[in-house]
Homo-oligomer: A and B are copies of this chain.
Amino acid sequence: MFGNLQKNQRKSLAASVALVAGVSAAAFAFNPLSAVAADHPNLVISAADIDAMQGAIEQPGRFRNAFLTTQSAVDRALEAPIAVPQPADAGGGYTHEQHKKNYQLMYNAGVLYQITQDAKYAERVRDILLAYADMYPTLPLHPKRRPGAENPGKLFWQSLNEAVWLVYTIQAYDLIRPALSDSEAQKIEQGALRPVAKFLSVDSPKTFNKVHNHGTWLTAGVGMAGYVLDEPEWVEQALLDLDKSGKGGFLRQLSTLFSPDGYYNEGPYYQRYALMPFVTFAKAIENNEPERGIFDYRDGIVMKAIDTTIQLSYNNLFFPINDAIKSKGIDTSELVLGVTIAYGESGNPQLLDIAARQDQILLTGDGLKVAQALDAGAQQPYEFKSFAFRDGKDGDEGALVVLRQQVNGDQALVFKPAAQGMGHGHFDKLSWQFYDRGAEIVTDYGAARFLNVEAKNGGRYLEENETWAKQTVAHNTVVVDETSHFDNNLQVANRNHPELLFFHADDQVKISAAEIDSAYPGITLKRTLALVNNPDNGSTFAIDVFDVESRNKHQLDLPVHYNGQLVDTNFKLQGYTDSLRALGKENGYQHLWLKASAKPATGLAQVTWLNDNGRFYTQSSLVDGNTELLFTELGANDPNFNLRAEKSFIARRDNVDKHTFISVLEPHGEYNPSKEFTLKAESQVSALSHQRTGDLELIAIGGKNGTTQLLAYNRNSDVDDSVNNRFEFDGSEYSFNGRAKLFQIKN
């Protein structure tokens, strides 16, 4: 591979990379490095790793167990004959799945060859590669490519899968290269590896140069092939665009696709997918050219991206914002690789906590480090934090805000003043979700999709992903006039974003505010969400203040999507009991059955539900006598039963140009039919009030126990701890410093 710079040169180069990239990736150019005869392997796994791994499988422990499991699976797979079929099927079909199986088997067999030096593993990889070398040069574009698509593949219907094939296969080749004769290597390189690399780079310039997750897979595959095949030019192109301008390429992708906080624009579900080529290629770069300081690039963006992916999870599952399959979590293979490599780089024992939950040991050098550290019991609890993860490449396009506390249950409030997140983004500006005791309480539908279930639109996104899941009313945020944010126009949505006004977290109060004036013309939406707890009695509340200001009068809907069974309301419901109609005609409303409605009197409107874990939740809202509450169930206009029958109640205020929705959500009590007891099934909230005086906002939650909890906060976006705030409440004077404080007032 390439010659190494001296150690002392490394830091300065890394610094210059970071500096230059920070200004303009286009202005950055590597010095071309001369090629030398390659050591194998040296991508994610290095030759030095192999020595340690060979030693480790002789010792009992997690690494040996993982080795034995993989060996047994591969040995079983070797019993089947080689199959390298002529490409014919789209995703899910036989040839598609077989080519996927091939690269996975080749990779695993390659690893086993290095560890065991048993020739049978190398021979199988060799034979499969020779078959590819025979076939690939003859292949036309894939018959199932999308008509007119710019990213067709040959082995697969799209080039994305072809790049994934290359990322695995080049590693497999690297692992077994020592077992090949030069003529075998020649045939495989000329017949398969070089043609695939060429097809994915110079023959697919648009996708290769695209600053997009697909581009990352292509550049990773081609760049890694460059290291293995001694083609430094490919590495340069992979890093800097085919024309080496820096306008595209891996570094540009690292500079653009993640925010400075390591947040990926599409949200955690796609972040964990996008991570794979980033960490794989980064590790290969580090092993081949440590002088590039790739893990230091952009202030350590690769490591931040891995860590942020973990942070954006709750009870091991990712927050399901945007198009997300809700059962995806931190044990996905991509994040296993990410955590393993991050631990190898950092040695951070908190990452071992995540690795322990993942319970998957990789057969790599870093995997060995993880296994040995877990065997030694070195893990420390991973700290999930309250944080505003800034969005946008420069961190100025809103944020995804997470408020957390461990009081009377592990609670998380997710607030989404984030940017749109491209085609997989939802029209849900300023939406929120709430989690408690391991469960999703105020919910997000996620994506409407049954992944790989043929009967459900071939396993692709369902039509209802557009007609329901992306629509604003499918989320917990304000809908104006039954139309979605940006009128469902993705281009407009991508050009606009909310502004994060403030974020603050202390022991008792976590609070954040944001606003957006572009979701609807002439309308400003501003929301403040807080998670507070009273240390005296362990009570907790999520507090929501949603201001809408408009030039004209509109209908405003604010849904709460919840999981569970409605238990009680403190107002009379008008049920639609023997016939149901859809609530509206379009923008998601056509999918909602209206099951009941109510118009509570002025004051406190309370809705209590019970979730499957036996916990009660009461939403107490301050209403003005003109707010309707609509109780809905999802499933109208869904002839194929594609939607889950989820529930919501919608606060509707019609004909207003200025309105503030104020509510508090209170977890309480326990329903335990197994042990035959029920505790605190009723809300403890007896009153709610809201005052604004100058920059200060006061939310007073009156309790049945005679104590009022008063949240006071300064809504000015520039507030630091030196600011002293004074106010009068109920005849008494109060003061606090900084952003916010929760007061307990005995009546």
Contacts and interface: CB of A to CB of B under 8 A. Distances in A.
Interface of A: 92, 325-329, 331-333, 450-456, 459, 565-568, 573, 575, 577-582, 590, 593, 595-596, 608, 610, 631, 633, 635-641, 644-645, 671, 673-678, 681-682
Given A579-B579, A582-B578, A633-B645, A640 B677 contact: no
A516 to B, nearest CB: 32
A595 B636 CA distance: 9
Contact of A636 (B573, B578, B644, B675): B578
Contact of A640 (B459, B573, B645): B573
A456 B580 contact: no
Contacts of A636: 577-578
A455 B567 contact: yes
A580 B332 CA distance: 41
A238 to B, nearest CB: 26
Given A453-B610, A459-B678, A673 B327 contact: yes
A574 to B, nearest CB: 8
Interface SS of chain A: loop
A577 B634 CA distance: 11
**Sorted from nearest, which 5 A-B pairs have the closest CB atoms?**
A575-B639, A455-B568, A452-B678, A566-B641, A580-B580
A590 B567 contact: no
A735 to B, nearest CB: 38
Contacts of A568: 455-456
Contact of A579 (B332, B581, B682): B581
A329 B639 CA distance: 38
A96 to B, nearest CB: 13
Given A450-B671, A451-B673, A452-B676, 17 more contacts: A450-B610, A450-B678, A451-B671, A451-B676, A452-B677, A452-B678, A455-B567, A456-B567, A565-B641, A565-B644, A578-B582, A578-B636, A579-B579, A579-B580, A596-B639, A596-B641, A631-B641
B671 A635 contact: no
Nearest to A676: B451
Contact of A328 (B453, B633, B674): B674
A728 to B, nearest CB: 37
A260 to B, nearest CB: 30
A599 to B, nearest CB: 16
B581 A581 contact: no
Nearest to A609: B641
